[in-house]
Structures are given as C-alpha cells and as structure tokens.
Amino acid sequence: MAFVLLLFHSLTIQVNRNEALSRFGIGMIKKSFPSAEIKTAERVCNRWYYGWGIKLTPEAWLYGVSRFEAVKIVMTNGRKSRLGTDEPDDLLAAIELVINKRDAEALLY
C-alpha cells in the first residue's frame, strides 16, 4: 500500500513548447502529449465515481489524483485524455498558448 501511495500521491503536469507531460508521484509513471499533436483543449468536470489514478472512462483516458476539475485534450489522431488538476484554468491557458503559438508559427512558413 505504501508503494502505491508513493507512486500516486500527486500529479504534476508541465507544459512547454514540445509537450504536456503528466507525472504521478515520484515520476515512475508518466504520460507525454506532444504539443504538435494536440488538436484542442477544453475545461471539463469529471464524474465523482471516476475516482483517481489512470483509468479509461466513457469519455477519455483519465489521469488524476483529486477533485473533479480537468482539462480534456483531443489529439490529432482522435485520442482523448483528461488531465485532472486543481488549477484547470491555468493548465488550459498554458496548453492553448502552446497550440496558438504553434499555429501562428505554421502560418509564417
């Protein structure tokens, strides 16, 4: 039980120009979402019974440890994921900034 708590006690999400990276606990479990493949992002609310951890829900893969707020990202291949967060507006703004910057750079070429 202590090992599971060590793996899943927190979720850290970092967004940079190359990817959105989610890391659970001490970082052994992580998932990367390349920014070039992120099609859309939106704020969503998870159902209470989805719980926490990594699981497939009817809407998308869920990566979360607390609360109900999340940001749903849709990839260019149609794959959907929900990133649970206590700060959904900040996460959404960061992802949208990367998407908009990428699209603006594409228009320059």
Fold of domain 2-108: PH-domain like (2.30.29)
Q: What is the value of pTM for the model shown?
A: 0.87
* Alpha-helical segments (H) within the chain: 2-8, 88-108
Per-residue model confidence (pLDDT) at position 108: 64
Domain spans of the chain, in order of start: 2-108
Identify any residues that bridge with 80 across adjacent strands, giving them in sequence order: 74
* Token pair 């209470």 in the structure block, residue: 48
Per-residue model confidence (pLDDT) at position 101: 85
Per-residue model confidence (pLDDT) at position 102: 78
What is the chain's pLDDT, residue by residue, as a tens digit (109 residues)? 788 777 778 889 999 999 999 999 888 899 999 999 999 999 999 998 888 889 999 999 999 987 799 999 999 999 999 999 999 999 999 999 999 887 777 766 6
CA-CA distance, 71 to 83, in Å (whole number)? 5
